[in-house]
Amino acid sequence: MDIVKYPGPVLRRGGKKVQDFGPALTQLASAMLETMYASKGVGLAAPQVGSELDLFVLNPSGDPADRSGERVMVNPEILGKRGKELGEEGCLSFPGLYAEVERATAITVRYQDLAGQVREEQLDEFVARIVQHELDHLRGVLFVDRLSSVEKLRVRNRLTDMERRALAAKA
């Protein structure tokens, strides 16, 4: 699968609630996982592969040989947040760009698995950060929207560069 890069318009569209938990959904999730591993990522949301479904995949190890932390979250929502912490983030839709983002340190998330089963989990540290980043994708929000003004200034040229290149590719 190809990953949609910034400023691809689908990245702003967000996801729609998944109703159909059939084999097509499982297929999409496993293709997304393979794409994520191949790109050395730790999370990937459906809009990043051009789909408008409300789901993302993640694995904090980023290692296809260690799938113990692998998760597929369908129709996720955050029920509660605790603490705040700055940490460095990147995004497969922004190759080579890293910036400090403030996120909650711990979250309670409710989602459905691929069978449609509702699950609730308390997560903290890195995996909580990934979930918050990926859930943003499902609302059309990107990590560069959440930067401090200093960080925004620091990455501004890189973003302008990506926007110009996308325009040039279209022309």
For the chain, how are helix, strand and coil distributed in percent, rounded to 5? 35, 30, 30
* Cβ-count burial 16-49 (b if 16+ within 10 Å, e if not): eebeeeeeebeebbeebbebbbeeebbbbbbbbb
Alpha carbon 52 to chain centroid, angstroms? 13
H or E segment and range at residue 31: helix 23-38
Closer Cβ to Zn ion, 25 or 135, answer by number: 135
Residue of 52, 134, 151, 163 marked active site: 134
Closer Cβ to Zn ion, 25 or 144, answer by number: 144
Binding residue (CB under 5 A) for Zn ion from 53, 74, 91, 107: 91
Minimum distance from residue 171 beta carbon to Zn ion (Å): 27
Minimum distance from residue 34 beta carbon to Zn ion (Å): 17
Minimum distance from residue 135 beta carbon to Zn ion (Å): 10
Minimum distance from residue 11 beta carbon to Zn ion (Å): 9
Per the listing, tokens 């509702």 go with 118
3-state secondary structure of 57: strand
Closest residue to Zn ion, judged by C-beta, is 91
135 near Zn ion, rule: CB under 5 A: no
Checking phi first, is residue 70 left (phi over 0); if not, alpha (psi -120 to 50) or beta? beta
Q: Is 134 a catalytic residue?
A: yes
Q: Site size for Zn ion, by CB under 5 A?
A: 1
Give the interface with Zn ion as residue ranges (CB under 5 A).
Answer: 91
- Residues labelled as active-site residues: 134
